[in-house]
Chains A and B, each alone.
Chain A
Amino acid sequence: MATHSRMQWRRYVTVFGAASLTVLAVVASLNYQVDPYLLHQWDTAQVQQLRPGREKLSAWGKTYALARLRPAVLYAGNSRTELGLPTATAPWAARPVFNGALSGASLGDALAMVAHAAAVGPPAVVVWGIDAPSFTLEVGNTDFDRALVATDRWYLWRRKLIDTKRAISTDMTLDSIRLLRGTFGAVCHSSLALYGQRDDVCVRDRIDDWGGTRGAVLPRVREFIRGAGPTAAALTAFDQGIGELCRARVQVRVYINPTHAMTLDALYWRGKWPAMERWQRELADLFERHRTSGCDAAIVDFSGFNRITTEPVPQAGGRESMTYYWEPSHYRVEVGQQVLARLAGGGAAADDFGVDLVPQTVALHQARQRGARDRYHLEHARETALVRQVVEQVAAEP
């Protein structure tokens, strides 16, 4: 081994350690203070500032906000719930409401978010949007690091460490600099400014990127049927999760998202209809079981072919901008309000939008859906043709 003086070795170690730690400390401090992604903001002025249209790391901001707000009413689910369920005009508006749904979330992600909310302070009501394709335990929202889920009372202290760790990154450093220079982008509000609900302006900005509703129709249908759900493992985990909420005396209101009729029709042409019907039956049985054990739990199906979901898309002679939908996969707040009204017990149960999934009537409901689907094929030939075209393309994919 080559020989050097002790001083030389020490100088080497000192330079290495000092250079590394100084840069790390400076960058981490800068990013933590600037916090361009609102990782640890809740009631600060930063939350109300306009930001870029694409929200980054929203799972981080929402888990932190949940820990601070501890809402009485929690919405859970994926982007359909995040965009569609309003927080300001909810039937429970007198109580703090937070939309904890996440873009791209699978059922596994939603379970983790509900677990987090339950750990930081159990809500009184959980409203949970689900749908068959995303009903899996795969990681859907890749930003939702499970370290963000609270497991003990030291969560906010642990968050400081986790947020500091995230601050040591290239993307955050560049965005901090952009924010300080005023070039970060100011399109719409963060979802935190609307208690977790996505700002419509952000959504419109995203839809414009697609080329408007018309341009988004086929990609969204394609995306919908690529989902791997529903899976048996997810159903088991969901059952356990609902059981936990029941034991904590939480009122559980689950609904199947009212995605556009084209999405369910695509499942039909893709050959997934029997799996979806089986899933609905299993859900009906699952909730019946929890209800008989004293739980205040209910599930309502808003999907399928009803007065809302069959709205014509632009390609089929509808208006360029749809009344009920941003595009087939995401419904607007107007629909979300009807969903909430129905779930809170104030909506009209008589019409075809929102059917209670109970074992006694699920077969009748499914028979009606099959009939409605066949009528849809006759009355909406253009949409049907578009759906079949998408399904054929997906089937040709390796």
Chain B
Amino acid sequence: MPALLPGGSRSVLFNSFSFLFLYLPVVLAGYLWLARWRPAWNVGWLALASLFFYGYWDSRYLPLLLASIVFNYWCGLRIAAATRWRRRWLTGALAANLALLGYFKYANFFIDSVNAITGSHAPGWDIMLPVGISFFTFTQIAFLVDCYRGLAGEYRLLHYTLFVSYFPHLIAGPVLHHKEMMPQFALRPRPGAADFAVGSGIFVLGLAKKVLLADPLSVLVAPVFAPGAEPQLVEAWIGALAYTMQLYFDFSGYSDMAIGLSRLFGVRLPLNFNSPYQATDIGQFWRRWHMTLSRFLRDYLYVPLGGNRHGPWLRYRNLVLTMLLGGLWHGAGWTFVVWGGLHGLYLVLHHGWQAWYGPLAAGARTWWAWPLTFVAVVLAWVVFRAPDLATAVEIWRGMAGANGVALPRGLAAYAQPLLQLGLDLQFSGIRWIDFSGIGVPTLAVACVLAWLAPNTQQIFRRYGPALERGAGGTGRWQWRWQPSRGWSLALALLFLGCAFSMNRVSEFLYFQF
């Protein structure tokens, strides 16, 4: 009786038992068997497994993904082969991709915006966003543009299908580039314990980021960002900080899992995060946060717009345009546009400052550059997470103290020295933050790790964790993974800690983009 069951969709998330104990072992076993007996079939096997991974989620969109792959592959061939009409082929193919993305992702945003401006009441369309459409569209746009530029090789359809649908990256990135991936797919598979050891280690660290850090922080975020919550100073800052950390550990955890999973099959993925909250200026932040998207936006949007080649003012315009479109890529809503605009403004201020005063000396950076950058990022995340602009403004007001400065009642007994100093403190209680729960201690741990600890690639740097060589340096703390018994038991313990906390599987925040 399906009509009795409202809603619901299946999913094979990396942090689910069905993925870890069913899907992954089967795919891995098939891969190992084929690598030994039929190595030429491995690309087909991984492509099949990836399409199953996508189709299991919602089979209705599997034909869409397949059609997108075949269409773009065919367009790529035509663009590469054409002597005339190359530009028209490219324009047509890009228009088709953007139309697809526009229909699924932005049609209702457009209708809502027109309604808001004109006061009309046109009904929205009943459209469900296909998972990962932003990622597989961008991946293929890069391929088409490189075909036009003559930078793409001659790829086989099967390899191209695997490149687009490769399950570790399909749902939420990293945004892959064909020039990095195709040569790896063309290699004869040589599975070994080394790849498995490194891959599983990276995967477990990513899983721990998601399950042990990001998920427990959600309880601090939702109440503060609820419309009408009007958080006061402490609540607003804790809520904003919690979301800042939740998003980082959620998304970088997902990226680590993707990198680790891929490594199990001997394939290296590009880095996506490099301790972004340790950045000391906003330009550096964008070279460390969602690095593959930043790279895409730089190479396929900012540079074609003119980049920094036509003077400072056009450079600033290009920066703002790139960030506005980058914001819109994250979601069909004005909050994302404002978030992108804010970061565009930050980048303009940063470059303007550098042009005016010159780069800061290394010593000068140390005491205020990092906190300034971090606070700017936190303020921007507020509008990124808020359900609407009014709620974002309310939280910003709270962070500025405009909604009051109430403190926990329990602190009143310890506050006499401060009160004697004449400070006007109210101990009327915190409404939206549960200090007795696990959220606040988790936030403290998350902050320390994000600000001070080495990241995953720094921990695994001696074993080529990603495509980039020597990325990330060594970090402040000298944690160096090696295939020792101690590390093996430590990561097994971490994995068990995750497994015992996984019964309520939560989706990754970046799935919605």
Beyond contacts A115-B4, A165-B17: 14 other A-B pairs, Cβ-Cβ < 8 A, are: A2-B482, A12-B484, A12-B485, A13-B200, A16-B488, A16-B491, A16-B492, A20-B499, A108-B6, A112-B4, A118-B1, A168-B500, A243-B3, A248-B1
Q: Which residues of A contact B491 (CB under 8 A)?
A: 16
Query: Given the known A-B contacts A12-B485, A137-B6, A398-B230, are A165 and B1 also in contact in the complex, defined by CB atoms under 8 Å?
Result: no
**Is B483 a contact partner of A9 (Cβ separation < 8 A)?**
yes
**Is A244 a contact partner of B228 (Cβ separation < 8 A)?**
no
**Is B500 a contact partner of A169 (Cβ separation < 8 A)?**
yes
A105 interfacial contact with B, CB 8 Å: no
Interface-located stretch among B26-34, B121-129, B191-199, B324-332 = B191-199
- The answer for the CA separation of A306 and B122 in the assembled complex, in Å, is 46
**Is B197 a contact partner of A9 (Cβ separation < 8 A)?**
yes
- The answer for the CA separation of A24 and B491 in the assembled complex, in Å, is 14
- The answer for the CA separation of A160 and B3 in the assembled complex, in Å, is 26
Q: Which residues of B contact A10 (CB under 8 A)?
A: 193
- 17 interchain pairs, CB-CB under 8 A: A10-B193, A11-B485, A12-B485, A16-B488, A19-B493, A20-B496, A24-B496, A112-B4, A119-B1, A137-B7, A168-B17, A168-B500, A168-B503, A170-B501, A233-B6, A241-B3, A244-B1
A264 interfacial contact with B, CB 8 Å: no
B473 interfacial contact with A, CB 8 Å: no
**Is B193 a contact partner of A12 (Cβ separation < 8 A)?**
yes
B89 interfacial contact with A, CB 8 Å: no
- The answer for the CA separation of A338 and B272 in the assembled complex, in Å, is 65
- The answer for the CA separation of A205 and B493 in the assembled complex, in Å, is 39
- The answer for the CA separation of A16 and B202 in the assembled complex, in Å, is 13
Interface residues on A, range: 35 or more
**Is A244 a contact partner of B4 (Cβ separation < 8 A)?**
yes
Within 8 A of B (CB), among A240-254: 240-241, 243-245, 248
Q: Which residues of A contact B485 (CB under 8 A)?
A: 11-12, 15
**Is B228 a contact partner of A111 (Cβ separation < 8 A)?**
no
Q: Which residues of A contact B489 (CB under 8 A)?
A: 15-16, 19
Q: Which residues of A contact B487 (CB under 8 A)?
A: 12
Query: Given the known A-B contacts A20-B495, A240-B4, are A170 and B500 also in contact in the complex, defined by CB atoms under 8 Å?
Result: yes
- The answer for the CA separation of A241 and B488 in the assembled complex, in Å, is 52
A387 interfacial contact with B, CB 8 Å: no
**Is B503 a contact partner of A19 (Cβ separation < 8 A)?**
no
Query: Given the known A-B contacts A1-B463, A24-B496, A169-B500, are A15 and B482 also in contact in the complex, defined by CB atoms under 8 Å?
Result: no
B229 interfacial contact with A, CB 8 Å: yes
- The answer for the CA separation of A118 and B196 in the assembled complex, in Å, is 46
Q: Which residues of A contact B464 (CB under 8 A)?
A: 1
Closest 4 pairs (CB-CB, A-B): A115-B4, A9-B193, A12-B483, A19-B492
Most buried by B among A20, A114, A237, A245: A20
- The answer for the CA separation of A120 and B463 in the assembled complex, in Å, is 53
Nearest CB in chain A to that of B4: its residue:
A115
- The answer for the CA separation of A16 and B196 in the assembled complex, in Å, is 11
**Is A8 a contact partner of B483 (Cβ separation < 8 A)?**
yes
Over the window 143-162 of chain A, the binary record of Cβ atoms lying under 8 Å from chain B Cβ atoms (1 yes, 0 no) is 00010010000000000000
Q: How many inter-chain residue pairs (CB < 8 Å) link A and B?
A: 114
Query: Given the known A-B contacts A111-B6, A118-B1, A237-B6, are A6 and B492 also in contact in the complex, defined by CB atoms under 8 Å?
Result: no
CB distance from A66 to the nearest CB of B (A): 14
- The answer for the CA separation of A244 and B492 in the assembled complex, in Å, is 49
A23 interfacial contact with B, CB 8 Å: yes
- The answer for the CA separation of A240 and B487 in the assembled complex, in Å, is 55
Within 8 A of B (CB), among A1-34: 1-2, 4, 6, 8-13, 15-16, 19-20, 23-24, 27
B116 interfacial contact with A, CB 8 Å: no
Q: Which residues of B contact A19 (CB under 8 A)?
A: 488-489, 492-493
B423 interfacial contact with A, CB 8 Å: no
CB distance from B192 to the nearest CB of A (A): 7
- The answer for the CA separation of A108 and B495 in the assembled complex, in Å, is 35
Over the window 233-266 of chain B, the binary record of Cβ atoms lying under 8 Å from chain A Cβ atoms (1 yes, 0 no) is 0000000000000000000000000000000000
The secondary structure that dominates the A interface is helix
B462 interfacial contact with A, CB 8 Å: yes
Within 8 A of A (CB), among B198-228: 200, 226, 228
Selected from B4, B7, B8, B193, the residue in CB contact (under 8 A) with A13 is B193
Within 8 A of B (CB), among A164-213: 165-166, 168-170, 173
B5 interfacial contact with A, CB 8 Å: yes
Within 8 A of B (CB), among A65-107: none
CB distance from A69 to the nearest CB of B (A): 18
Within 8 A of A (CB), among B439-470: 462-464
Nearest CB in chain A to that of B485: its residue:
A15
Most buried by A among B2, B228, B484, B499: B499
CB distance from A200 to the nearest CB of B (A): 31
Nearest CB in chain B to that of A139: its residue:
B7
Q: Which residues of B contact A12 (CB under 8 A)?
A: 193, 197, 483-485, 487-488
Q: Which residues of B contact A245 (CB under 8 A)?
A: 1, 4
Nearest CB in chain B to that of A5: its residue:
B483
Q: Which residues of B contact A13 (CB under 8 A)?
A: 193, 196-197, 200, 488
Query: Given the known A-B contacts A12-B487, A15-B489, are A118 and B193 also in contact in the complex, defined by CB atoms under 8 Å?
Result: no
**Is B492 a contact partner of A15 (Cβ separation < 8 A)?**
yes
**Is A2 a contact partner of B197 (Cβ separation < 8 A)?**
no
Over the window 311-342 of chain A, the binary record of Cβ atoms lying under 8 Å from chain B Cβ atoms (1 yes, 0 no) is 00000000000000000000000000000000
Q: Which residues of B contact A398 (CB under 8 A)?
A: 226, 228-230
- The answer for the CA separation of A245 and B1 in the assembled complex, in Å, is 8
Selected from B2, B17, B193, B463, the residue in CB contact (under 8 A) with A6 is B193
Q: Which residues of A contact B196 (CB under 8 A)?
A: 9, 13
- The answer for the CA separation of A169 and B495 in the assembled complex, in Å, is 13
CB distance from A76 to the nearest CB of B (A): 10
CB distance from A264 to the nearest CB of B (A): 26
**Is B197 a contact partner of A16 (Cβ separation < 8 A)?**
yes
- The answer for the CA separation of A386 and B230 in the assembled complex, in Å, is 28
**Is B5 a contact partner of A112 (Cβ separation < 8 A)?**
yes
Q: Which residues of A contact B493 (CB under 8 A)?
A: 19
Q: Which residues of A contact B488 (CB under 8 A)?
A: 11-13, 15-16, 19
**Is B4 a contact partner of A111 (Cβ separation < 8 A)?**
yes
- The answer for the CA separation of A49 and B140 in the assembled complex, in Å, is 61
- The answer for the CA separation of A233 and B6 in the assembled complex, in Å, is 10
Q: Which residues of B contact A168 (CB under 8 A)?
A: 17, 499-500, 502-503
Query: Given the known A-B contacts A19-B489, A108-B6, are A2 and B193 also in contact in the complex, defined by CB atoms under 8 Å?
Result: no
- The answer for the CA separation of A4 and B7 in the assembled complex, in Å, is 51
- The answer for the CA separation of A245 and B4 in the assembled complex, in Å, is 9
Nearest CB in chain B to that of A7: its residue:
B193
- The answer for the CA separation of A327 and B464 in the assembled complex, in Å, is 64
CB distance from A290 to the nearest CB of B (A): 13
Q: Which residues of A contact B228 (CB under 8 A)?
A: 398
Nearest CB in chain B to that of A9: its residue:
B193
- The answer for the CA separation of A248 and B1 in the assembled complex, in Å, is 9
**Is B496 a contact partner of A23 (Cβ separation < 8 A)?**
yes
- The answer for the CA separation of A171 and B1 in the assembled complex, in Å, is 34
- The answer for the CA separation of A108 and B194 in the assembled complex, in Å, is 49
Q: Which residues of B contact A20 (CB under 8 A)?
A: 492, 495-496, 499
- The answer for the CA separation of A176 and B145 in the assembled complex, in Å, is 59
Q: Which residues of B contact A165 (CB under 8 A)?
A: 17, 503
Nearest CB in chain A to that of B200: its residue:
A16
Q: Which residues of B contact A244 (CB under 8 A)?
A: 1, 3-4
Q: Which residues of B contact A16 (CB under 8 A)?
A: 197, 200, 488-489, 491-492, 495
**Is B462 a contact partner of A1 (Cβ separation < 8 A)?**
yes
- The answer for the CA separation of A245 and B17 in the assembled complex, in Å, is 34
Query: Given the known A-B contacts A9-B194, A240-B4, are A4 and B17 also in contact in the complex, defined by CB atoms under 8 Å?
Result: no
Q: Which residues of A contact B229 (CB under 8 A)?
A: 398
